[in-house]
Amino acid sequence: MAEKYDVIVVGAGPAGLTAAIYASRARLKTLVLDESVPGGQVKTTHKVSNYPGFPEDVKGTDLAKAFSAQAERFGAKVRRAVEITKHDLSGPVKRFELDEEEEVEAPAVIVATGAKPRDLGVAGESRFKGRGISYCATCDGAYFEGKDIHVVGGGNSAVEESLFLTQFARSVTIIHQFDHFQAEAAIAEEALHHPKIKVIWDSEPREFLGEKGLDKLKIENVKTKEVTELATDGVFVFIGYVPRADLVKGLLPLNPWGYVETQEDMSTQVPGLYVAGDLRQKKFRQITTAVADGTIAALAAQKYVKDHKPVAAR
């Protein structure tokens, strides 16, 4: 027998947890499923400076914990490290099989599965993942105390995380494919003036090399085509994100980049199925925009549940 909920939220990032706060406050029986610990990308962010309500910077991990605690305070059940082994989101009752052993169902589902770091797709990357190549400075930065490391990328994440990594590393060399950063001017300036940070412009990684662990990185200057081998103790890759649309692939149309188009109220072409946060096609992907999406999705789902189903037994 499947356990019945009013709303099931997939993804415990800012969008999913905000949806859970609103849904559970509206007395909907709410379940949040996450394959990891709650917080989404926020928990991998060392500090957040632009989330309103925090005049001082807030640690990403602290903000993530606060989002989750608030959802649980209102009664949402937040399930961590759970694997969705089967799902059917097409009908009026949406079902999930969890860890191949239990079933849950609800008339309304909010998919807020966000995005994951993009791979470079160059030779040696999969071999050295977690053995010299990392995609999360907050998670792995401390392993590089006193080391000479490289960062690939030039957007906000790459530059912010390079600054963060200077706390540990002896030197941080940023490799960027263009001749200027895409990051916001203030942090770009900070990085350019930082004594531990050096930048190699117009260059892209071509191969990761090493015997046991990673110890060399081959880069190519995209203008001169010159190839150089750099000694490295570790490489952090921040070149953008890939939407995590697996649950809705084949059910909802995706745009050419794999994002899901929704209506303004986060609804999709499947009644009762909502998509919120970074997974949606939209221009700006931030915590505030994810939180806004989660709010709207929960309010829309609340109305849908009320109109389509008596409130489930608690």
Ligand X SMILES: Cc1cc2nc3c(=O)[nH]c(=O)nc-3n(C[C@H](O)[C@H](O)[C@H](O)COP(=O)(O)OP(=O)(O)OC[C@H]3O[C@@H](n4cnc5c(N)ncnc54)[C@H](O)[C@@H]3O)c2cc1C
Using rule CB under 6 A, residue 42 touches ligand X: yes
The yes or no reply on residue 299 touching ligand X (CB under 6 A) is: no
Least distance in angstroms from the C-beta of 226 to ligand X: 31
Would you give the binding string for ligand X spanning residues 49-78, x where CB under 6 A is met? -x----------------------------
Site stretch for ligand X (CB under 6 A), options 11-19, 122-130, 187-195, 200-208: 11-19
Position 153 contacts ligand X (CB under 6 A):
no
Cβ proximity to ligand X, 15 vs 124, nearer residue:
15
HSE (side-chain half, CA atoms, 13 Å) at 138: 15
Q: How far apart are CA 198 and CA 191, in angstroms?
A: 8
The two structure tokens encoding residue 111: 């998919």
Segment near ligand X (CB under 6 A), from 42-50, 70-78, 203-211, 217-225? Answer: 42-50
> Which residue number, 103 or 226, has a Cβ lying nearer to ligand X?
103
Contact flag: residue 134 with ligand X (CB under 6 A): no
In DSSP notation, 161-200 reads HHHHHTTT-SEEEEE-SSSS--S-HHHHHHHHT-TTEEEE
The sign of the CA dihedral 287, 238, 156, 53 is: positive
Q: Does 292 bind ligand X (CB under 6 A)?
A: no
Q: Would you mind telling me the total number of residues written for the chain in this entry?
A: 314
CA gap 16, 294 in Å, rounded: 6
115 binds ligand X, rule: CB under 6 A: yes
Output the DSSP codes for 24-73.
Answer: HHTT--EEEE-SSSTTGGGGG-S-BSSSTT-SS-B-HHHHHHHHHHHHHH
Instruction: Write out the residues near ligand X by the rule CB under 6 A.
Output: 10-16, 33-36, 40-42, 44-45, 48, 50, 84, 112-115, 157, 161, 244, 246-247, 277-278, 285-288, 290
